[in-house]
Structure 1
Amino acid sequence: MSVLLEREDATLEVVDGNALTIRGEADFDSAGPLAQAGRHWLAELPAQAEVSFDLTGVQVASSAVLSVLLVWMRSVSRHSLNLRRVALSLPLQRLVDITELAPLLATTETTCVEPAPARH
């Protein structure tokens, strides 16, 4: 695991060598830095490298997070990378469905993960 960006509200990590992973409350304040950090990491990968995006740790759905995802997807295309999987939290999956962005993810494996039950 390699931390690319750590903020009070959100963290961006590379997990398992090829998965950009956001954890926390990614919002409008953090969207720009998250998009930029991910874009720089993607630009350094060799052409045809396989990558995944894991947004299951983002439990608050916002258009800011979708903007980050779209920036990263453009970077994948621009740098001739292979996007293998996009994993979304349930709130983000609902937002993708509402905004009709699902067709943009149609060429990838998109999964939705239910949040873990709270422990008391």
Structure 2
Amino acid sequence: MTALLESGSVRLEADDSVLKVEGQVGFDAATALAETGRDWLAEQPAGSRVTFDLSGVADVSSAAFSVLLEWARAARTAGLELQAVRLSPALRRLADLAGLERLLPVESAAA
């Protein structure tokens, strides 16, 4: 994994086709996360498959979902296929409540 961003209590890493976030994603870090991830996505070859891994996000955070949706939009713009989204249990509960599994390829808890 290559560290792309460390800001306060959050870290963004990339490895091959995976963007991985760990820590607490608050609105203070959301802009930097969104921009850094968007830049990384723009560098990937068109047609590539990518995965967003937020399984290491500590808290329920609407800021994390804002970043996730921005990355999904950036992936589409870059001609990338969003293969999977991995969420922490807390984020998964919020995604279920919000119905985000209809918009994103959220992996099941067993995956």
Residue 98 of structure 1: CA displacement? 1.3
Give me the TM-score of the superposition, normalised by structure 1.
0.86
Partner of 1:45: 44
TM-score by length of 2: 0.93
Q: From 96, 102, 107, give the equivalent of 1:110.
A: 107
Per-residue CA shift, 1:4-54, capped at 9, x if unaligned? Answer: 101121000003x11000010011111110011000000111100111010
Output the CA distance in 1 between the equivalents of 2:8 and 2:100.
29
Cα RMSD for the two superposed structures = 1.3
> C-alpha distance in 1, partners of 2:26/2:109?
20
Q: How many angstroms does 1:109 deviate by?
A: 5.1
Tell me how far apart the structure 1 counterparts of residues 108 and 32 of structure 2 sit (CA, whole Å). 25
Runs of 4+ in 1 over 3 A off after TM superposition: none
Shift of 1:74: 0.2
Equivalent residues of 2:87, 2:106 under 8 A apart:
no
Per-residue Cα deviation, 1:94-113 (whole angstroms, up to 9, x for no partner): 111111222101xx352337
1:70 is displaced (CA, Å) by 0.0
> How far apart, CA to CA, are the structure 2 residues paired with 1:61 and 1:103?
19
* Residue type of the alignment partner of 1:9: S
CA gap of 1:110–1:38, structure 2 versus 1, over 3 A, is same
Q: Kindly report which structure 2 residues correspond to 1:59-98, keeping only aligned pairs within 5 A, or say none.
A: 59-98=58-97
Is this contact kept in 2: 1:51–1:84, CA < 8 A? yes
Q: Secondary structure at the match of 1:110?
A: coil
- SS of the counterpart of 2:37? helix
Q: Deviations over 1:70-116 (max 9, x none)?
A: 000001111110111111001001111111222101xx352337xxx
Separation in 1, partners of 2:108, 2:35: 24
CA distance in 2, matches of 1:112, 1:22: 17
Unaligned stretches of 5+ residues in structure 1: 114-120
2: distance between equivalents of 1:94 and 1:28?
20
